[in-house]
Structure 1
Amino acid sequence: MMVWLLIIGAAILILILQAELKRGATRHERFERDFKADFENIKNIGHHEIAEPLASSMNEALHYEYMEKVNSEFRNKFPRMSQSQASLYWREIQRYLLMASIFKSMEMFNPKVDELWHTMLNHPDEYQQFCKDFAGHEIFHYPSPEPVYKPFERTFFDLCYVQLFSIDNSSLSVWGPFFKEGIGQEYFNEFINKNLSYLKNKYMHQQANPETSRVFESFVSKIKNSKIEDVADWKNLYSYNNDASYAYLFFAQTDDWNYQVHCKHIFGDDIPLPHSHHSHHEGLSGHHGDTGHGGGHFGSDSSCSSCSSCSSCSSS
């Protein structure tokens, strides 16, 4: 009797395993179909003109087979995630890695974008080859044991992001409100007043290749050559192609600290914190400003799941 019970139990277990394998294969096939159908959309990261050389290099370096494999693994971690949601995270990890290839250090402010990065890192040979083909060097991932409040680094992230990429509702849904810690006046003044050599030494990635160096130079030139009369029509300029850089450059040159009232439809509807205009040097020197938690929340998917100024990872 006992033998028969064991045989029956083993048969049931085999049937369960076979059913699970079949479901897994069916799910993987669906993920493959979804990814293939949305691949061209995924590769369009919505960049501004100054980022075009690096966006093109990214397109050439990120191969379909690598991305499809990572995409299936990523969606398996989040079974309820649609491909359209996964595609949005693909857009943002590509934007993030583009910034990380330019600048010495770039903080990560979204847990699911970071999880997609981790999934890419699960294939070290392919990840390293991608980095080599794209940036000429590996883009290293540095985790922290727990999320740390980094308002000054978040402001720098925002400044770089709006100069390089379009901002839309999808951007806000991933990163939360932009410039809620301040417009980054000190950063702006430094880029205006310091020479290119100084700025390269302080901000540009030490392993930047010639193409990346030229993009950094274009980034600096865009800020240095901005004139308030040229960006005063920022509302119409934004409505044309979701380019929020004009709005930033306008308000960085005025004394109007109510920029979020004027730009909440662009940067997100939030109120600047009382400490939002502290010098960025306070936050960059040993992270003296990185204590405690504060600020508003922007949905369950905003950075660190709660605060858009919290970072648990960074690049270098």
Structure 2
Amino acid sequence: MFRFLFRKSPKPSKRSRVGKSKPDFRASDLPQGLGLLEGVPLERIVTKLNSALPLDYVERLQYRVKAGNPSMSDDEFACKWFELKRFFLMNLILKRTPMFSSEIDEIWHEMLMFTREYQRFGDQFAGGVIHHSPEREPKQMPGERAWFDWVYAHLFEFAPTSSRCWNGFFRNPLDEERTDLLRKANEEEIAEQWFDMEQAKRYPEVAETIRILITQAIKEARHSVNSRRFEDTGWKDSLTNPNNLVYMAGAMMFFSIQDNGNYTSGMNSQWPEAGLESEKYKQSSCSSSGCGGYGSNNDSSGDQGSGGSSSCSSGSGSSCSSGSSCGSGCGGS
């Protein structure tokens, strides 16, 4: 069973942190492919993503990343690289895809240093460069983070280190503007607002995935309005394994709509043990850099920590501090 941080808890003393260890990174535990959920029709797109990343490029990237982070193991790189590829896949689907992990963003930075290879990757996979641009700090984007979590949960199965890499999930409620649109707007309006319809024209699998996500989001939002208690939604009974990301995302939708002001309490009412092991997910591990990751132990609320930052300029002229989140966008074909 995995744990997620919902509860704001007092910052532990240095003594209480002794013995707390980060979850191990084991590449052998990663799902096949990118761990797409059953029914998500993106297998061909995953194959295209991998074919756009030649082995030589990945090996040189790994060497550069590990040279800057001597303590990073091959398995740790593999797990973070796995999550970055998931991020690139989400970038084909969403109109806006902020980067919410300084650790994964660090690998993205290094990709940009290989300007020709990165250009070729973007052209082959997305029909243009996947631009890297600095964004506001994650603590200023709770609604965007909540939507990222919801979409991620409906695309991918949970990998053992997913929460570690993304600094936890479901800490923030969906914003009222987003839930109102899901409750009242039609599918076309929602698609134009949040999804990359240019990539939907390019890839029929992306168009179908967007349709599936919108249908599910509308269903969850409108069902949440008509259910007085989370138990009344019936979602737990409809899933063979209720302790999964889809179930948690459904709960996030319900408590965002029914009791946004007490969102944390509502989530904890379903998982009272959620905070017991939260510290291991709150610890930042920017390796040799001193940045505090989103939800690091600098702030138990799940906001961006205030540790030191490192920055680099990409080949396309963009730059990003590891203390901030970074967004992406595809160049059109």
Where on the TM-score scale, by shorter chain, does this alignment land: which range?
Answer: 0.5 to 0.7
Give the aligned partner of residue 48 of structure 1: 37
1:225-240 alignment to 2 at 5 Å?
225=219, 231-233=235-237, 236-238=240-242
CA distance in 2, matches of 1:118, 1:309: 22
1:222 aligns with 2:216: yes
Amino acid of the structure 2 residue aligned with 1:96? F
Q: 1:117 and 1:44, CA in 2 relative to 1: closer, same or farther beyond 3 A?
A: same
1:16-31 alignment to 2 at 5 Å?
none
Q: Percent identity?
A: 24
1:60-71 alignment to 2 at 5 Å?
60-71=51-62
1:176 aligns with 2:176: no
CA deviation string 1:248-276 (max 9, x = no partner): 22552464741234247789966xxxxxx
Q: 1:193 and 1:246, CA in 2 relative to 1: closer, same or farther beyond 3 A?
A: farther
CA deviation string 1:215-241 (max 9, x = no partner): 2122112333456756232674245xx
Give the aligned partner of residue 203 of structure 2: 210
Amino acid of the structure 1 residue aligned with 2:203? P
User: Is 1:162–1:244's contact at 8 Å kept on the other side of the alignment?
Assistant: yes
Farther-moved stretch of structure 1 (244-253 vs 158-167) = 244-253
Give the aligned partner of residue 282 of structure 2: 298
CA distance in 2, matches of 1:58, 1:89: 16
Matching residue within 78, 86, 94 for 1:87: 78
Q: With structure 2 as the length reference, what TM-score do the two structures score?
A: 0.64
CA deviation string 1:287-306 (max 9, x = no partner): xxxxxxxxxx8111342855
Q: 1:234 and 1:117, CA in 2 relative to 1: closer, same or farther beyond 3 A?
A: farther
Cα shift at 1:62: 2.2
CA distance in 2, matches of 1:136, 1:196: 25
1:313 aligns with 2:319: no
CA distance in 1, matches of 2:275, 2:253: 14
Indicate the SS of the match to 1:315.
strand
Give the aligned partner of residue 119 of structure 1: 110
Q: Which runs of 5+ in 2 are unaligned?
A: 1-26, 224-231, 286-292, 305-323
Once superposed, what is the RMSD of the aligned Cα atoms?
3.4
Give the aligned partner of residue 149 of structure 2: 158
Cα shift at 1:191: 3.0
Larger relative contact order, structure 1 or 2 (CA cutoff 8 Å, min sep 6): 2
Farther-moved stretch of structure 1 (123-132 vs 207-216) = 207-216
Amino acid of the structure 2 residue aligned with 1:252? M
Q: 1:133 and 1:81, CA in 2 relative to 1: closer, same or farther beyond 3 A?
A: same
CA distance in 2, matches of 1:163, 1:197: 20
Cα shift at 1:247: 3.0
CA distance in 1, matches of 2:275, 2:153: 9
User: Is 1:43–1:59's contact at 8 Å kept on the other side of the alignment?
Assistant: no
Which structure has the larger Rg over C-alpha atoms? Answer: 1
Q: 1:45 and 1:185, CA in 2 relative to 1: closer, same or farther beyond 3 A?
A: farther
User: Is 1:71–1:86's contact at 8 Å kept on the other side of the alignment?
Assistant: yes
1:260 aligns with 2:268: yes
Q: Which runs of 5+ in 1 are unaligned?
A: 1-37, 271-296
Indicate the SS of the match to 1:140.
strand
CA distance in 2, matches of 1:44, 1:267: 31
CA distance in 2, matches of 1:195, 1:137: 30
Indicate the SS of the match to 1:207.
helix
User: Is 1:231–1:247's contact at 8 Å kept on the other side of the alignment?
Assistant: no
Amino acid of the structure 2 residue aligned with 1:232? K
User: Is 2:138–2:325's contact at 8 Å kept on the other side of the alignment?
Assistant: yes
Amino acid of the structure 2 residue aligned with 1:170? T
1:191 aligns with 2:192: no
Cα shift at 1:195: 1.6
Indicate the SS of the match to 1:161.
helix
**Whose helix proportion is higher, 1 or 2?**
1
Q: How many residues align?
A: 252
Amino acid of the structure 2 residue aligned with 1:262? Q
Amino acid of the structure 1 residue aligned with 2:33? N
